[in-house]
Amino acid sequence: RERVFFVGFRKDLKISYVFPQRCNMVRTVREAIEDINKDAVRAGEKTSINAHEYWVGGYSYIFMSRNRVLDWDSPAFTIQASGRQTSIHPSVPKMKKIEKDVCVFAKGYENQYRRLTARECARIQTFPDSFQFIYTNLNDAYKMIGNAVPVNLAYHIAKSIKSAFIK
């Protein structure tokens, strides 16, 4: 997702600010979540990993109009702020397009499709595993993660602001 950041300083501080250079490093879904993908549980079940449960429920017409199955070796789609709109885990076959704006799950695999867990979404957003999400409703966890600026992105912007003050 493209984002716009505005960084400003009072004129009397005479600070020269240079926005950090864009990093062209691409992190794949595999790099982000492969090591935790086997421990996922359905919403409401006990899990040893904070927020490692996935949303269970129907798929909207809009969701089913496009292939939302992630690819292990590509970057993830934008992380949505809703459990219902969360992408499908890459461990299953791609959805099959049967007509314009209509996709279906691959025959024989229908019961194996699952959404990403909140923790997998957090990993994609570069939250450290030590970060604890406190919520009573799983959708609230998805909302926090989907509305967040990726942690590493925020870190580099904050670091550049700090260095502007130190100069």
Domain count, the chain: 1
pLDDT, position 31: 97
- Per the domain annotation, does 125 fall within a domain? yes
**Is residue 23 assigned to a domain?**
no
Q: What is the pLDDT of residue 3?
A: 79
Asked if 124 contacts 79 with a C-beta cutoff of 8 angstroms, the reply is yes
Cβ-contact 145, 123 below 8 angstroms: no
132 within domain boundaries:
yes
- C-alpha distances (whole Å) from 125 to each of 6, 10, 94, 149, 151 are 21, 31, 23, 8, 6
What is the pLDDT at residue 1? 67
Residue 14 belongs to a domain: no
53: in domain: yes
Contact 151, 126 (CB under 8 A): yes
* DSSP state letter for 67: -
Q: Which two tokens stand for residue 119?
A: 């923790």
Domain that holds residue 90: 32-166
- Residue 6 in any domain: the answer is no
pTM: 0.91
Q: pLDDT category, 39, cuts 50, 70, 90?
A: confident
What is the domain-level CATH number for residue 71?
Answer: 3.90.120.10
Residue 25 inside a domain? The answer is no
Beta bridge partners of 102: 99
* Longest alpha-carbon distance in the chain: 67
